[in-house]
Amino acid sequence: MLTKKYLNELTYEVLGSAIEVHKTLGCGLLESVYHECFKEELLYRGIDYQSEVKVPIFYRSKILDVNLRCDLIVQNCLVVELKSVQEMPNIFHAQLLTYMKLLKFPKGVLINFN
């Protein structure tokens, strides 16, 4: 059973992983570079994840394929979206909330490496 304490501790570890990647690489790189290094950092810390997960949409007893993919799902309960941009438009927040709702996950994190 997921507890608020567990989710908070997991989020803390995930954010710590992102900080370590940013400290090591700095800013100004492509998102794909941060994504690969972030996955390595999670592995190093023993944190289970899935990358580039297809997000299904169920509608009228059908699964629709609209090609939604979230960057990472951590411990099968936390959505993580990575960005490397100067500004964070609202669409990125909407994207994270969409993934959380469709996957029925209680928490998500939007990380900008730039």
Q: Nearest 5°: phi and psi at 97?
A: -65, -35
The pLDDT score that the predictor gives to residue 105 is 97
Q: Distances from the Cα of 110 to the Cαs of 10, 59, 82, in angstroms?
A: 14, 27, 6
State how many domains the chain has.
1
Q: What is the extent of the structural domain holding 9?
A: 4-112
Supply the CATH number for residue 12's domain. Answer: 3.40.1350
The pLDDT score that the predictor gives to residue 49 is 98
78-83/107-112 β-pairing: parallel
The pLDDT score that the predictor gives to residue 36 is 99
The pLDDT score that the predictor gives to residue 65 is 85
Count of CA atoms in the C-beta half-sphere (13 A) of 47: 28
Hey, what are 14's tokens?
A: 């995930």
Confidence grade of residue 60 (pLDDT, cut at 50, 70, 90): very high
Contact 77, 105 (CB under 8 A): yes
Query: What is the pLDDT averaged over residues 102-114?
Result: 97
To 10 degrees, what angle do helices 31-44 and 4-25 make?
120
Could you read off the pLDDT of 23-55 as tens digits, one per residue? Answer: 999 999 999 999 999 999 999 999 999 999 999
Confidence grade of residue 2 (pLDDT, cut at 50, 70, 90): confident
The pLDDT score that the predictor gives to residue 1 is 74
Count of CA atoms in the C-beta half-sphere (13 A) of 41: 20
